[in-house]
Structure 1
Amino acid sequence: MAGKALQLHKVACNAKRRRVWCKGRKLERDGVRCSASSFVPCTTGISLWEVKSGTKQDEHTSRSLGPSLHDMCAAEASASLLQVEENFSACLARMDALIFKPLLQSEPSDQKGKENFKLFLILNDQFQALWNLTEENYRIVKQKCSTSQSFCIQDIYIVWKGDLFLSLYIQYFVTFANYVVVHGFEHATKSKSEAWKHHKTVLKQFLTDFTSETSMSLALYTVLHKPIRDHVEQYILLLTKLNEVLKEGSEKDIVASAVKEYVKLKSFISQVLDEACFTKSLWKSLGYKFTDMLCVPERRLLEDSRNLPISSSTNRSDRILLFDDVLVLIQGNSFQSFDLKLVWVDETCREKSAPGQYGLRIITPEETFVLSARDPQMKAVWQWKLNQAIRQALNGKRDFPLWGKTGEGAEPSSCRFFTYVFRLESKFKNATYEGEWHWGKPHGKGTLKWRDGRNHVGDFKEGLEHGFGICLVPRRSEDRYDCYKCHWFEGKMRGYGICEYGNDMVYKGYFKNDVRQGFGILENFSAEHPFKYTGQWENDKKNGYGVWEDKDRGERYIGTWLDDHKHGQGIVVTQSGVCYQRMFHADKMVGSGILLLEDDSVYEGNFTQDLTFVGKGKLSFANGFILEGTFTNKSGQGLQTQGVLNTSNEQLDERITKAQLGLKEFPVEKRWKGIYDQFLEFIHSGCKEEMEESFTGFHIQTSKELRRSQEYLFCQRGAEEASWKTEDILEELVQHHELGSLQNYLEKALKSSLHPLGKLLKALTIAFQATYSGIGANRHLLTMAQEEVKYYAKKIWEFYQGLLHLALEQKGEPPVKCVDGEVSDQKAYSVVLPLILPCFYPELFMLYMLYHEREDDLYCQGIVDLSLFPDIKLLEFLDVQKHLWPLKDLTLTTNQRRSLIKDKCFLSATECLQKLITTVDPREKLLILQKTYEEIESTVSRVVEKDYKLPMDDLLPLLMYVVSRAKIQHLGAEIHLIRDLMDPTNQGGLYDFLLTALESCYEHIQKMRLHQRENCHVAHTS
């Protein structure tokens, strides 16, 4: 029995196929063919064949869901259903033979008729699907009755397959209504087909209920919907009676739910037909011009201002039509239509209405107007209908039934996602926007595309670009684009951004009001003229302090600019090592300047672009000679001069070596002002997150959401997911402002690419490298670089103080006591400078090495000479007192005698001093020096077998021994870097004393080498 029921179930699910032939054209019908309908049944409660638990059952398990129906009830229900389905199936067969087949054989030839005929083909498919389902139901019921089997709910097809029944009925009546709206029956009855004429007489006999005065179109309309509509009534009556006799239980619940759904279907059919007639009447009343443009089969008129009066604020005579997809304003011979998906209704209308009028403000992407009603009730009806229509349009489906309680009270969302083409005159004219909307304005994420190829993807706020966005702009006469990856503010670029121009140039820096403004880097990667500019911009032009690197010429310009030209004081550094300082005017050199040649000669006076001396000048040679006079350079005759040669200045060599440029011309506080200004603006804004997002750089690939999975804003917290909130920064600032945790906090903050202080340091590092690395590594720029690094530490400390003051203020805590400038500078040296120095150390130390190259060469030669001495000989040579010699350390093996140069004496101190080059922090270097001193003293104490404090006379020879054995390269650069950058509080203390002792050793080793050279020279001459 179960196998037979399962077989019937499969038969029922696979509807029969019939073939209908029309003018040699085969129409094949599957069991269900759906039209492009937006109607989807919205069932409430449990499904038609679900139990209260909500789980669907198959035919086998469903038989155990409850007691079977009473025999009397089963017999009555099955007999009634069998009779209903038999009569209905016969009616459908007559409709198919006398109406559908003749109409299918009379395809019209006019365009309008052909369009309607396509709708009729869909209607026929829906009809055939209903017929198939009816016959399947009839067959199953008949089989059950003939076998006298006991019935259960799953044997009643209209309940078991209730969802399928509802779907097919909905599709049929939606398609039927579409056909009604376009006057389909009127066109069909006017057909001149011979087949149709032949069937007209037979059809009249079939339509016995109609009088001779009844139009054929009305008769067809009635016949094709009334029997089917009445059949739904039969289902409702039958199921209602069945529900009344069932006992309480799961089967009764299922039948009750089915009754509710069929009642909804009945209401739906009535509403669909009413809407169709209402819409059809509208198209009759409007002229052909409006009908041709507005009439769509699926479109339904929901309300007309002529039936429910309401008027537009712009023109009282306007006619307002509310459809299920658009709102239409007819104004004379023209009309405007607004897609309901982009219509917002504001009931709190503040616009002034006429006395006694009640307004609704209608907001669309490009227009806003007011609809005025005479009384609040009328306004409320329009408001309700508008909101329901908008909600259904946004959902992509109508309610079921159309105006039931399904969506009552549900307001459409104010935030939406949609595509729209701007048409009115504005900055977005002819642009297509796809993205998020809020009250008629692009708001959120979106994309703008213009017809000319422009493209903007990013964040929008109240109709304007606001936040991060990427904009593509096509270049004229080129098949290339300018790509802006920037932050926007109220429709204009503002803040940090990157622009990749189509001509192989890239700009990374700040914008304001759509132009480059503030600090920025412009680099040209083309092979024709590669260059890089790092500096200040104003109104899209290079203005202020900046660095220009000409990669073709191998030159770097460091100085001031005006309107894209070198203007004012400037320093030019060449790849060959020559550099000069000169006044510029519109890219041309003017006046006299100073030229520093590669061989340490110095020329002061006028010179040409190719560095040829011209006019009056003074040339100071590296050997101390000075030539002062007038210089000329005639073609073929070389450089000529008339003047005086002075050979008496013996101290010039030292002065030339220490010559420094740019100190007075470029005050350190005026360099890179654009970087500091951005940070100040961020603090003054109260550290708003959107300001921080744009104030000093960002990761292009990360939006705000993606950044949370990257580095934590400034403080690593193990595996904890990174989060970014401005209040987190301010909270951490307050927690770590005490001296104990401040150092650790600042170290993590400055290393983070997400913390404001870390971003500031990154920008300063880029500026420093652009100035002093590569070509800019010139010893004459050392003092500029050194004071710049110190100033960085000072500014970072000031900005930290500013952030801390703001954080405490926002928490309502008392601010930190203000400190004077001297104390603030000490904090910058002691706290900040050691933390930021690693970022600048490679470039800075290179300058120190170049600056002290001559002294370090002499020192290295001295070290080589001293390394030839065995340990005892060296100690003797350096006048180390013999009672301090660690002779026990010099017990040599046979192998060691062969190599007496091998270092053994004061080995621990030597190894300690060698660590000097392993760190960049002046504090740590001084600690290493102190540790070296302690190791020397410890060794001496062991030798003399008592605690021994070394006096200066004993320390210097011993320290010189250790220095000579440590063989530290560039020791002069190391010493002077420590001296220049160490904490000022160490001056006059132990560290200062030890550093002075190291300097003395360094200088003594140089003089030893010079002395040896002089002795060699004397011996050679004698």
Structure 2
Amino acid sequence: MCSPEEEALLQLEEVFLATLDRINGQVLQPLLEAEPSDPQGKECRRLLLQLQSSCQQLWEATEKSLHSLRERLRHPDAVGLESVQLLCGADHVLRVHVEYIESYTSCVVVQAFQKAAKWRSEYWRAQRKALRQLLWGMGSERATGPALVQALRQPLTHHVQQYVLLLLSLGDTIGDRHPARELVVRTASLFGSLQSFLRQALDQAEATQALWRTLSSRPRDALRTPARRLLQDSQDIPVTVAPLRAERVLLFDDVLVLLQGHSVHTFDLKLVWVDPEQDGCALHLLTPEEELFFSSENPQDQAIWRWKITQAVCQALRGKKDFPVLGAGPEPSETPTCRSVAYTFLAEGRLCQATYEGEWCRGRPHGKGTLKWPDGRNHVGSFCQGLEHGFGICLVPQASEDKFDCYKCHWREGSMCGYGICEHGTDQVYKGHFRDGLRHGFGVLESAPQLPGPCKYTGHWERGQRSGYGVQEDRDRGERYIGMWQANQRHGPGVMVTQAGVCYQGNFQADKMVGPGVLLSEDDSLYEGTFTRDLVLLGKGKVTFPNGFTLEGSFGSGAGSGLHTQGLLDTAAPPPDPSSTCKRQLGLGAFPVESRWQGVYGPFRDFVRAGCPGHLQEALLGFHVQSSRELRRSQEYLCCERTPPDDSVGRMEDILEELLRHREPAALQSYLTKALSSSLHPLGMLLRTLMQTFQATYAGIGANKHLQGLAQEEVKQHARELWAAYRGLLQVALQRKGQALEEEEEDTETRDLRMHGLVLPLILPSFYSELFTLYLLLHEREDSLYSQGLANLSLFPDTKLLEFLDVQKHLWPLKDLTLTTNQRHSLVKDKCFLSATECLQKIITTVDPREKLEVLERTYGEIEATVSRVLGREHKLPMDDLLPLLIYVVSRARIQHLGAEIHLIRDMMDPIHTGGLYDFLLTALESCYEHLQRHDMHRHDMHRLPSRRDSREPW
């Protein structure tokens, strides 16, 4: 059986549904039949259309509620109370009521009913009687506009009030154990809140409407919008504001307004912070460009302003009006500190007219965001207290259309600081470090090949200029300069290498070589003397020719072309050793190896001394980014794919933890191999930078034999520095665990042993291509004689060659020579000592000097094993027997560039092997190499070789 409250609800819904029909038919529809032409009339019509749409939705929700109540009354046993739409769909019913209230109050604020009533004044005079029925008996003396306002307001307020009363009564009637008890109580609470919300919304709308009448046209036109509501007026609760000294303060639900004469200062509430640390005498507000101090003679008035501003800011940040009422529920103690909002700066300064969109903190851009200027400049990245700080990408437009300078860099307090990549609209690219917005530290500047005067500089910078040690290549002139710089000019000791093979070494001043110097020509002629600023021989000097002749005197340029000299030509000097003539090295002593690349190692040492802070890791060591061609073409593609900050491989904490787990010698080599090969590990990043410097110095034009000494000592120095870098990281890792590094491991001898035995073999493959090329060029003449010797000895069959090399016959492995039909021992080739030959050939399959020496040791073992098998007993070869056998194996192995291989092994081998077995075997291999170059081996008697005619006879 249904309760009287349910029947009353049914009657209430029937009456309200009929009222909504009359409102739509007799008020809204007639108002909308007119078509105003003025802008204000069009705005009012838009609001009335919105109100009609809200009224229709409210009618539909009421109709569904009425239908469910009728079903309940017809079948009370079959249809439960909880199926009534007003209860089960309370949230939806509530929402359409709120939307209707907001639409209605917007019309009230701009006096839409009063303005629309004028459109059809004759119609309204004829509808007085019907309108009075809507007004529930009100007199006819009220004007049409206010009557329309009341016609929509009174039925709604009465309806919501009756909802609350009937739902509360229904909750008391059905009892605590009724299944729909909680549902009824919740619905009553919701509509109780709606009643409060309606009352507040109507009050705010009326206060806002009244406010617009008190303002002059200029501020009213600037501020009035249908959705804006007045929350507080300083004329009601006085307050003074400094430093602007506003005449009137208006707090709306979206902005704070200060009126000062004809000036209107507007502050978006989303960008207003209430400082919780203000003193008791003033309310401190923070905005992007102003700091405001509110004060009042009455502390209670100031507290009201503080409370209302705080509530309004919180509501604005939520993006919707508070429900049930402004400030209801848990009151926030302060406004949220961090926000994400867009704002355009207006005050003069570097941010004038710039729009920032992103995260804020206490009135300043703070966090991730985008800053855009009207002229096309953009900055996307991290900000701290209003300044660019952290990684960011900046685009600066150039005069040419679609041309931008693109800066992908780390920033500190508004300036580039740390590692960055800058791609200029001129197609120049700089990759390196910055300080205070200028290139500073190690960096590489390269221009596109298609540009006039293409060049590439790799080296140190100071305050935006080339200074310190650096390498520059001029591709048009085919020159590479290696040496010292100052203020963007070559200054100090330097070496110039040309594509034609000519090399200069001397002192440079103001970009020109002056004073005494050295010139090495491609044919190994040597000039020692003075030069002009254009590298022309001038003054006293001495020329040493490859044949040993010397010319000493004065040099100069005459009226015509060519070189003029007056001096003494000495032809009596004995001819020099050709190998020593071509092996003159440049740069040794001029640039101490310890000071060459301090721009790379210095910042890394500082990073380690600082304790390896993770947030500085990328700023120091660099990042990997995608190709930025799209980035430079358009402002719309501001992006940068970098190593994810949460990548466990690259996080500094994980790197140091893993380092501690692999300290033992058994695990250390494996760990260093992995670290040096990883672009995410500091050691791997460091190695890649050093590879870049090495290639910039010694590849291409720099592949000159006179630079081999520089390159060799540089690779060794890199190994020392990388070991020191590892030790520095280990020390930081131990300090974080409260431990200390063992002092005994820090001595020079141990460090050098580690460098040669552990680090050098691991990094040598990274430099091997350029380094081995220099060895090839340096020993080209020796290798040419060696190759000629190999070619001559390759004509010998095995037995003939063994005889020629004076190998004792009882050591010949003739049983290894398998003969075919009509074949003799004297015709078989490449069969004797085959295992040793194949073993020695593996020396070119590795770059590690130790592994090459191990190949040589195994080759020696294979030779002895073969001899022992021939003799049928264990046999140790003396040097007199080993050397000819080793010459035989070397000649059959036919290893190209053996001289370059031998010298590289000798220079890079671990000093611990000096005087040991490896040293002995390498010395033996050197002797074989020298034997194969000798002229007497090339002038062998060809008639000693078997001819076709006697080839069948036994040898």
- Both proteins in one fold, TM over 0.5: yes
Shift of 1:521: 0.9
Shift of 1:959: 1.4
Question: Partner of 2:611: helix, strand, or coil?
Answer: coil
Q: Is the 8 A contact 2:2 2:73 kept in 1?
A: no
Amino acid of the structure 2 residue aligned with 1:964? S
Residue 715 of structure 1: aligned partner: none
Q: What whole-Å deviation, never above 9, does each CA across 1:700-739 have from its counterpart, x for those lacking one?
A: 24999963499xxxxxxxxxx7443322222233332333
- Aligned pair 1:679/2:607, yes or no? no
Cα distance in 1 for partners of 2:56, 2:728 equals 80
Cα distance in 1 for partners of 2:823, 2:522 equals 46
Cα distance in 2 for partners of 1:302, 1:476 equals 49
Question: Partner of 1:843: helix, strand, or coil?
Answer: helix
Residue 748 of structure 1: aligned partner: 674
Q: Is the 8 A contact 2:353 2:373 kept in 1?
A: yes
Q: Is the 8 A contact 1:660 1:782 kept in 2?
A: yes
Q: What whole-Å deviation, never above 9, does each CA across 1:303-328 have from its counterpart, x for those lacking one?
A: 23343444334366653322111122
Q: What whole-Å deviation, never above 9, does each CA across 1:262-308 have from its counterpart, x for those lacking one?
A: 22222221111111122223223333332221121111112233434
Output the aligned Cα RMSD.
Answer: 3.0
Residue 667 of structure 1: aligned partner: 592
Quick one: percent identity of the two aligned structures? 54
Residue 291 of structure 1: aligned partner: 220
Cα distance in 1 for partners of 2:348, 2:359 equals 22
Q: What whole-Å deviation, never above 9, does each CA across 1:62-83 have from its counterpart, x for those lacking one?
A: xxxxxxxxx253xx45643443
Shift of 1:947: 2.4
Cα distance in 2 for partners of 1:636, 1:361 equals 85
Q: What whole-Å deviation, never above 9, does each CA across 1:530-581 have from its counterpart, x for those lacking one?
A: 2111111112111122111111222211122222222222222122222222
Residue 735 of structure 1: aligned partner: 661
- Aligned pair 1:442/2:368, yes or no? no
Question: Partner of 1:964: helix, strand, or coil?
Answer: helix
- Aligned pair 1:570/2:494, yes or no? yes
Shift of 1:487: 1.0
Residue 748 of structure 2: aligned partner: 821
Residue 926 of structure 1: aligned partner: 853
Q: Is the 8 A contact 2:797 2:828 kept in 1?
A: yes
Tell me which of 792, 804, 822 is aligned to 2:718: 792
- Aligned pair 1:846/2:782, yes or no? no
Name the stretch that deviates more: 314-323 or 168-177: 314-323
Equivalences for 1:253-652 in 2 at 5 Å?
253-314=182-243, 318-349=247-278, 357-373=280-296, 378-403=301-326, 405-406=328-329, 408-409=331-332, 412-476=335-399, 479-525=402-448, 526-606=450-530, 613-631=537-555, 633-634=557-558, 638-652=562-576
Tell me which of 834, 842, 850 is aligned to 1:915: 842
Q: What whole-Å deviation, never above 9, does each CA across 1:614-646 have from its counterpart, x for those lacking one?
A: 544322222222222344555667555433222
Q: Is the 8 A contact 1:399 1:406 kept in 2?
A: no
Name the stretch that deviates more: 804-813 or 602-611: 602-611
Tell me which of 650, 674, 683 is aligned to 1:724: 650
Residue 707 of structure 1: aligned partner: 643
Amino acid of the structure 2 residue aligned with 1:473? V
Shift of 1:949: 2.1
Tell me which of 963, 985, 991 is aligned to 2:890: 963
Residue 875 of structure 2: aligned partner: 948
Cα distance in 1 for partners of 2:832, 2:494 equals 53
Question: Partner of 1:581: helix, strand, or coil?
Answer: strand
Amino acid of the structure 2 residue aligned with 1:122? Q
Tell me which of 692, 706, 725 is aligned to 2:617: 692
Cα distance in 2 for partners of 1:552, 1:861 equals 38
TM-score in terms of structure 2 length: 0.91
Name the stretch that deviates more: 825-834 or 205-214: 205-214
Shift of 1:1012: 2.4
Q: Is the 8 A contact 2:776 2:897 kept in 1?
A: yes
Q: What whole-Å deviation, never above 9, does each CA across 1:209-268 have from its counterpart, x for those lacking one?
A: 445765544433222211122122233333334333335243333333222222222222
Question: Partner of 1:707: helix, strand, or coil?
Answer: coil
Q: What whole-Å deviation, never above 9, does each CA across 1:826-853 have from its counterpart, x for those lacking one?
A: 2212221111111111111111111111
Cα distance in 1 for partners of 2:293, 2:469 equals 56
Q: Is the 8 A contact 2:765 2:847 kept in 1?
A: yes
Question: Partner of 1:250: helix, strand, or coil?
Answer: coil
Tell me which of 849, 863, 874 is aligned to 2:790: 863
Cα distance in 2 for partners of 1:736, 1:141 equals 77
Amino acid of the structure 2 residue aligned with 1:494? C
Cα distance in 1 for partners of 2:503, 2:581 equals 13
Cα distance in 1 for partners of 2:354, 2:556 equals 66
Cα distance in 1 for partners of 2:251, 2:620 equals 49
Shift of 1:975: 0.8
Q: What whole-Å deviation, never above 9, does each CA across 1:320-361 have from its counterpart, x for those lacking one?
A: 322111122333443322111112222222xxx5xxx44332
Shift of 1:922: 0.9
Name the stretch that deviates more: 629-638 or 165-174: 629-638
- Aligned pair 1:250/2:179, yes or no? yes
Question: In structure 2, do the counterparts of structure 1 residues 898 and 129 end up closer, same or farther at CA, with 3 Å as the change threshold?
Answer: same
Question: In structure 2, do the counterparts of structure 1 residues 409 and 536 end up closer, same or farther at CA, with 3 Å as the change threshold?
Answer: closer
Q: Is the 8 A contact 2:649 2:680 kept in 1?
A: no
Amino acid of the structure 2 residue aligned with 1:629? G
Amino acid of the structure 2 residue aligned with 1:804? L
Shift of 1:135: 5.0
Cα distance in 2 for partners of 1:374, 1:744 equals 75
Question: In structure 2, do the counterparts of structure 1 residues 150 and 983 end up closer, same or farther at CA, with 3 Å as the change threshold?
Answer: closer
Amino acid of the structure 1 residue aligned with 2:252? F
Name the stretch that deviates more: 618-627 or 747-756: 618-627
Shift of 1:661: 0.5
Residue 126 of structure 1: aligned partner: 54
Amino acid of the structure 2 residue aligned with 1:232? V
Q: What whole-Å deviation, never above 9, does each CA across 1:16-74 have from its counterpart, x for those lacking one?
A: xxxxxxxxxxxxxxxxxxxxxxxxxxxxxxxxxxxxxxxxxxxxxxxxxxxxxxx253x
Amino acid of the structure 2 residue aligned with 1:158? L
Shift of 1:816: 1.6
Question: In structure 2, do the counterparts of structure 1 residues 1015 and 1006 end up closer, same or farther at CA, with 3 Å as the change threshold?
Answer: farther
Cα distance in 2 for partners of 1:109, 1:445 equals 46
Question: In structure 2, do the counterparts of structure 1 residues 369 and 146 end up closer, same or farther at CA, with 3 Å as the change threshold?
Answer: closer
Question: Partner of 1:451: helix, strand, or coil?
Answer: coil
Amino acid of the structure 2 residue aligned with 1:767? T
Amino acid of the structure 1 residue aligned with 2:49? L
Residue 157 of structure 2: aligned partner: 229
Question: Partner of 1:457: helix, strand, or coil?
Answer: strand
Question: In structure 2, do the counterparts of structure 1 residues 1013 and 307 end up closer, same or farther at CA, with 3 Å as the change threshold?
Answer: farther
Question: Partner of 2:706: helix, strand, or coil?
Answer: helix
Amino acid of the structure 2 residue aligned with 1:368? E
Amino acid of the structure 2 residue aligned with 1:855? E
Shift of 1:515: 0.8
Amino acid of the structure 2 residue aligned with 1:684? R
Question: In structure 2, do the counterparts of structure 1 residues 358 and 919 end up closer, same or farther at CA, with 3 Å as the change threshold?
Answer: same
Residue 100 of structure 2: aligned partner: 172
Question: In structure 2, do the counterparts of structure 1 residues 938 and 92 end up closer, same or farther at CA, with 3 Å as the change threshold?
Answer: closer
Question: In structure 2, do the counterparts of structure 1 residues 138 and 632 end up closer, same or farther at CA, with 3 Å as the change threshold?
Answer: closer
Name the stretch that deviates more: 207-216 or 905-914: 207-216
Cα distance in 1 for partners of 2:640, 2:377 equals 25
Question: Partner of 1:571: helix, strand, or coil?
Answer: strand
Shift of 1:807: 2.0
TM-score in terms of structure 1 length: 0.85
Q: Is the 8 A contact 2:491 2:511 kept in 1?
A: yes
Cα distance in 1 for partners of 2:24, 2:462 equals 81
Shift of 1:139: 6.0
Q: Is the 8 A contact 1:861 1:1009 kept in 2?
A: no
